[in-house]
Amino acid sequence: MPRKEGIYGLIAEFNTPSELVQATEEARTAGYRRMEAYTPYPVEEVAEALHFHKNRVPLLCLLGGLMGLTTAYLMETWIAVYAYPLNIAGRPLFSWPAFIIPAYEWTILFAGLSAGFGMIALNGLPQLYHPLFNAPNFRNGATTDKFFLCLESTDPKFSLTETRAFLERFHAVSVVEVDY
Amino acid sequence: MATKQPINDPMIDPRTGEYAVIAPGHNFKSVTQKIAGLVLTGNTPLAWFGGLVFAGGIASLVVVALTWLVLKGVGIWGVTMPGAWGFAIINFVWWIGIGHAGTLISAILLLFKQTWRNSINRFAEAMTIFAVVCAGMFPLIHVGRPWLGYWLFPYPNTMNVWPQWRSPLAWDVFAVSTYATISIVFWYIGMIPDFGTLRDRATLPLARYFYGMLSLGWRGSTRHWIRYETASLLLAGLSTPLVLSVHTVISFDFAVAALAGWHTTIFPPYFVAGAVYSGFAMVLTLAIPIRKWYHMEDLVTERHLDNMAKVMLATGSIVAYGYGMEVFMSWYSASHWEFFMMWNRMFGPLGWGYWMLILTNIAIPLTTLWSRKLRVNVTWLFILSIIVNIGMWFERFVIVVTSLYRDYLPSSWGTYRATKWDYMLFIGTWGLFTCLFLLFVRFLPIIPMSEIRMMLPQTKITRGGPTAETVSEEMS
């Protein structure tokens, strides 16, 4: 990725989640799209204001689970019937009820790992550097008690002066430029 | 019930008459400072070092016992014919049962939206992982040559040998390894946002680097949070059938065998209930000292203790039903062998173990837990939690040993006597567990900060745009 220069966006700091929700909703109404809110705990209302409804974590989880189920079941069948057939008290080689249990465990294992690591991958993590960490007040509050709205410079509607004036309308504690 | 309490008790919610989940007066910053402060503090209490040295001393028994075991083999234990399963399996089932409450608290109570669990889920999950570490060791060393433990897994090898899928012991490998993996992933993912908080609050560069790496660069983005919440819910939804299946599979190790006392269909539900029972007892054993030493009474309140005691009452009653049903079936089955097994279990040479079990698992807890006064009596709960832990160990002892040592043929009867190596290893695992737990309370956030923030009244979204001034006045 080429090194980016200039500013990443403008970040407004709020004291309460209500102010953040209001600012996000109005920024959306005003036509801003490239924006993101940062909160110390999940705030569903902000996600609604951002119109972020769908995420692909459940799909990954389902695919992982199905993969685990088929992998384990086929592996057991192949081992018990073809690779290493053993006569255990005259039971059929394809003892399908007994094979359910390891397949069940691997369904959960693969689904869980897909959900967990899928979430991390979809979030683009690990990403130890991010321009936001350059904002002087971000690390002091974003993971503790402050609520941030960042309008990003890639948005076509973004303009340093107008966007700043727009954000300052919401009684933000501060509005700061974020450098790359 | 609530009317008996003094009305101006600040811990009681006047609307519901219940104890509050979090003491009033907290805000986002105060809970963060309080919990992060435990980890980022510059002065570690001297008692912590003392505890670590003491627990480490006990844990060194594991090293000694394992070294001797590797040199001499499992013959140093009390296992022999007919009692081929002894302490190793008892301890395995006991430890893994303890772990189950952690998953129950973190997963099942999350699905049921029991927000009170937020204060206790992190250390309950930590307890799960450390208990699984202790538990997992036992079957591994019980195979006799632990360095060949990987033979348990299916992998292509030059011997052309593969696992036997009709055996519950093969199922066990899959159940326990899945359980350990998913528990660790769930625990770690739960901590990522808190690592972000610790990274941002740490002043030491080393701590900032360490927690920064662990946080993966978490920055609290809303889109991240939504995916994070989805993944947490999915993991909770997956852990719930997992935790039920793990002890079910462990009970199959017994129930599939054609041995009187083991061959019963009640084992799966009764094992799971027993696991949750002992697990909640262990959560109380850990939570009560921690909330006192670290002054967490406002975050882990009487409400938590009361609720956990209620879960113990419910699961303990299921366990009692299981015991009753075992006795009933030994008579109702009209099987001579079943009947003898139960008679021998109660009045045979090891009958004291059975009565010990009834006393510690049923008689003491299930009479006192009905009283709300005793449920919120911290001292009594602590004593009771230890009693139940002892009782659940005896349950496994009774199941494993008294079913085995006098089987169908009187000519092959024997007895079981644990050796000093058995005791050393068992006691050593307490030290190992305590050591790991002490390291956890020192270096990791013991209470999930982001989830505690969600329970505060300040999270309420007010529409219609309050001005920043009025809100900050309300907050202060």
Q: What pLDDT does B465 receive?
A: 52
- The angle formed by the CA atoms of residues A101, B114 and A41, to the nearest 5 degrees, is 100
CA distance readout (Å), B360 to B278, B289, B357? 12, 22, 5
Indicate if the pLDDT at residue A4 is higher than 70.
no
Q: Cβ of B235 and A115 within 8 Å?
A: yes
Q: Cβ of B216 and A126 within 8 Å?
A: yes
Q: What pLDDT does B65 receive?
A: 93
Give B51 or A156, the one with higher predicted confidence: B51
Mapped onto helix, strand or coil, the DSSP state of residue A68 is: helix
- Global pTM reads 0.88
User: What percentage of residues in chain A have a pLDDT greater than 90?
Assistant: 33
Query: Which of B425, B386, B367, B403 minimizes the C-alpha distance to B146?
Result: B425
Q: Is residue B340 part of a domain?
A: yes
Q: What pLDDT does B10 receive?
A: 59
- How confident is the prediction for chain B on average, in pLDDT? 86
The structural domains of chain A, ordered by start, are: 7-53+138-179 (3.30.70), 57-122 (no CATH)
Q: What pLDDT does A109 receive?
A: 95
When mean pLDDT is compared across A35-44, A55-64, B313-322, the lowest value belongs to: A35-44
Q: What pLDDT does B1 receive?
A: 45
Average pLDDT over residues B393-397: 92
pLDDT in tens, A133-145: 888 888 888 888 8
Indicate if the pLDDT at residue B230 is higher than 60.
yes
SS (H, E, C) chain B: CHHHCCCCCCCECCCCCCECCCCCCCCHHHHHHHHHHHHHCCCCCHHHHHHHHHHHHHHHHHHHHHHHHHHHCHHHCCCCCCCCCCHHHHHHHHHHHHHHHHHHHHHHHHHCCCHHHHHCHHHHHHHHHHHHHHHHHHHHHHCCCHHHHHHHCCCCCCCCCCCCCCCHHHHHHHHHHHHHHHHHHHHHHHHHHHHHHHHHHCCCHHHHHHHHHHHCCCCCEHHHHHHHHHHHHHHHHHHHHHHHHHHHHHHHHHHCCCCCCCCCCCHHHHHHHHHHHHHHHHHHHHHHHHHHHCCCCCCCCHHHHHHHHHHHHHHHHHHHHHHHHHHHHHHHCCCHHHHHHHHHHHHCCCHHHHHHHHHHHHHCHHHHCCCHHHHCCHHHHHHHHHHHHHHHHHHHHHHHHHHHCCCCCHHHCCCCCCCHHHHHHHHHHHHHHHHHHHHHHHHCCCCCHHHHHHCCHHHCCCCCCCCHHHHHHHHC
Average pLDDT over residues A144-165: 84
- When scoring B166, B185, B462, B475 by the number of chain A Cβ atoms within 10 A, the one with the most, hence best to mutate, is B166
Q: What pLDDT does B14 receive?
A: 57
Indicate if the pLDDT at residue A27 is higher than 90.
no
Q: Is residue B465 part of a domain?
A: no
Q: What pLDDT does A1 receive?
A: 47
pLDDT in tens, B461-471: 777 654 444 44
When mean pLDDT is compared across B233-237, B348-352, B448-452, the lowest value belongs to: B448-452
Average pLDDT over residues A171-176: 83
- The angle formed by the CA atoms of residues B254, B259 and B264, to the nearest 5 degrees, is 60
Q: What pLDDT does B469 receive?
A: 44
Q: Is residue B470 part of a domain?
A: no
Average pLDDT over residues B182-195: 91
Average pLDDT over residues B154-166: 90
Side-chain-side CA neighbours of B273 within 13 Å: the count stands at 18
pLDDT in tens, B76-123: 998 888 888 889 999 999 999 898 888 888 888 888 877 777 888 888
Q: Which helix (H) or strand (E) holds A46?
A: helix A44-49
When mean pLDDT is compared across A61-75, B150-164, B315-329, B444-458, the lowest value belongs to: B444-458
Q: Which residues contact B343 (CB under 8 A, 6 or more apart)?
A: none
Domain span holding position B346 = 2-460
If one counts the domains in chain B, the total is 1
Average pLDDT over residues A80-100: 91
Q: What pLDDT does A118 receive?
A: 93
Q: Is residue B396 part of a domain?
A: yes
In chain A, the residue whose alpha carbon lies closest to the alpha carbon of B224 is A123
In chain B, the residue whose alpha carbon lies closest to the alpha carbon of A147 is B220
d(CA B424, CA B91): 12
Q: What pLDDT does B427 receive?
A: 94
d(CA B141, CA B38): 37
Give B326 or A166, the one with higher predicted confidence: B326
Q: What pLDDT does A30 receive?
A: 83
Place of tokens 């539900």: B269
pLDDT band at A64 (very low <50, low <70, confident <90, very high): very high
Q: What pLDDT does B468 receive?
A: 45
Mapped onto helix, strand or coil, the DSSP state of residue A153 is: coil
In chain B, the residue whose alpha carbon lies closest to the alpha carbon of A137 is B200
Q: Is residue B466 part of a domain?
A: no
Report the CATH number at residue B420.
1.20.1630.10
Shortest CA gap A47–chain B (Å): 6
Indicate if the pLDDT at residue B476 is higher than 50.
no
User: What percentage of residues in chain A have a pLDDT greater than 70?
Assistant: 98
Q: Is residue B383 part of a domain?
A: yes
User: What percentage of residues in chain B have a pLDDT greater than 70?
Assistant: 93
Mapped onto helix, strand or coil, the DSSP state of residue A171 is: coil
Average pLDDT over residues B347-373: 92
Shortest CA gap B30–chain A (Å): 9
- How confident is the prediction for chain A on average, in pLDDT? 87
Q: What pLDDT does B193 receive?
A: 92
pLDDT in tens, B40-74: 877 888 888 999 999 999 999 999 999 999 999 88
Q: Is residue B74 part of a domain?
A: yes
Q: Is residue B469 part of a domain?
A: no
pLDDT in tens, B6-17: 445 556 665 555
Shortest CA gap B351–chain A (Å): 35
Q: Which residues contact B269 (CB under 8 A, 6 or more apart)?
A: B318, B322
Q: Cβ of B466 and A16 within 8 Å?
A: yes
Q: What pLDDT does B451 receive?
A: 83
Residues in chain A closer than 8 A to B450 (CB atoms):
40-42
Residues in chain A closer than 8 A to B469 (CB atoms):
171
Q: What pLDDT does B472 receive?
A: 45
